[in-house]
C-alpha cells in the first residue's frame, strides 16, 4: 500500500437491481486513513447498497473500488470489518461461543477487548443470543465488529436499536477501538447522536448523489450550524428528496 493512498476509494460506481433505475449512478468517494466519516442521507438513497459493494456482498455494474490502494478482491475482506443493519448471528449460539467463532475466523479479532466491552454493557457471556433483547443483540454485534484490528470499519446504523443511555458508550467504543491507520464509515439517521465523533461527513441523496461533504469541525465553524441542522437545511431545500 502507498502511504498516501486512501483507505477506500470508489470511482464512478453504478449499481442497479433488475430494470429499475440505478440505486447508485456515478458514485464517487474517498476516505483517508484515521478518519470517521458519517455517510448521511434518507432511507433508500443507496447507503446500505454502497457498503455491501465495498464488503463484496454485491458486485457493481461498473466502476472501481480500491481498498488501501489495491483493487477490491476476496483478499480485501481481511481489511474490512462490516456491521450490517440487521443482525445475522445464529440465535442458538451463546455469547461466549460467538467470541470463539470470531476468534477462529478472524486472525485480527481480540477476545479480551470483546469480553471487556460485553461486561461493561452487562451482556452475559453464557446467554443465548435468542434470549437477548433486540438492543442487546445489536450491541453484541457491534462489539464483535469493533474488536477486530483491521483497516476499514463499516457500520450500518450502529446505534439504531440501542437505548439512549448506552449510545455514549457505544460511540466512545467506536472512537477507542480503531487505530490511526484505520478509518470508519458510519451510516445513520440519528445524526445528532453521532455528530460528536465525526471527522468528515457526506450528505447522500437518491442515486448516490453527494449534495455536500467536508470536514465536520470546519463546516460548523464556517456556517455556525451543527451537521444535523445543516442536513435538515440541505434536504429541505432539495424538494425532490
Q: What is the pLDDT of residues 115-148, one digit of tens each?
A: 999 998 899 999 999 999 888 888 899 999 999 9
Which residue spans within the chain are E strands per DSSP?
Answer: 8-15, 24-31, 36-40, 62-67, 70-71, 80-83, 152-156, 183-187, 200-204, 210-215
pLDDT band at 1 (very low <50, low <70, confident <90, very high): very low
Most confident of 48-62, 176-190, 225-239: 48-62
Q: Please state the rounded mean pLDDT for residues 219-234.
A: 93
Q: State the pLDDT confidence band at 113, using cuts at 50, 70 and 90.
A: very high
Q: CA-based Rg of the chain, rounded to a whole angstrom?
A: 18
Global pTM? 0.92
Amino acid at each position: 500500500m502507498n502511504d498516501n493512498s486512501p483507505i477506500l476509494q470508489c470511482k464512478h460506481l453504478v449499481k442497479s437491481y433488475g430494470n429499475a433505475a440505478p440505486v447508485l449512478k456515478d458514485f464517487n468517494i474517498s476516505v483517508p486513513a484515521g478518519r470517521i466519516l458519517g455517510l448521511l442521507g434518507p432511507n433508500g438513497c443507496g447507503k446500505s447498497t454502497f457498503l455491501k459493494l465495498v464488503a463484496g456482498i454485491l458486485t457493481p455494474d461498473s466502476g472501481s473500488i480500491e481498498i488501501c490502494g489495491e483493487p477490491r478482491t476476496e483478499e480485501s475482506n481481511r481489511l474490512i470489518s462490516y456491521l450490517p443493519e440487521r443482525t445475522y448471528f445464529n440465535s442458538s449460539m451463546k455469547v461466549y461461543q460467538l467470541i470463539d467463532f470470531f476468534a477462529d475466523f478472524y486472525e485480527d479479532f481480540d477476545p479480551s477487548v470483546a469480553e471487556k466491552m460485553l461486561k461493561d454493557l452487562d451482556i452475559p457471556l453464557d446467554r443465548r443470543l435468542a434470549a437477548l433483547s433486540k438492543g442487546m443483540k445489536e450491541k453484541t454485534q457491534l462489539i464483535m465488529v469493533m474488536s477486530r484490528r483491521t483497516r476499514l470499519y463499516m457500520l450500518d446504523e450502529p446505534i439504531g436499536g440501542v437505548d439512549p443511555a448506552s449510545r455514549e458508550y457505544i460511540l466512545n467504543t467506536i472512537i477507542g477501538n480503531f487505530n490511526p491507520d484505520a478509518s470508519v464509515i458510519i451510516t445513520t439517521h440519528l445524526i445528532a447522536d453521532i455528530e460528536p465523533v465525526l471527522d468528515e461527513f457526506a450528505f447522500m441523496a437518491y442515486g448516490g448523489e453527494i449534495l455536500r461533504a467536508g470536514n465536520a469541525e470546519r463546516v460548523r465553524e464556517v456556517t455556525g450550524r451543527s451537521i444535523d441542522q445543516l442536513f435538515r437545511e440541505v434536504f429541505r431545500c432539495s424538494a425532490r428528496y
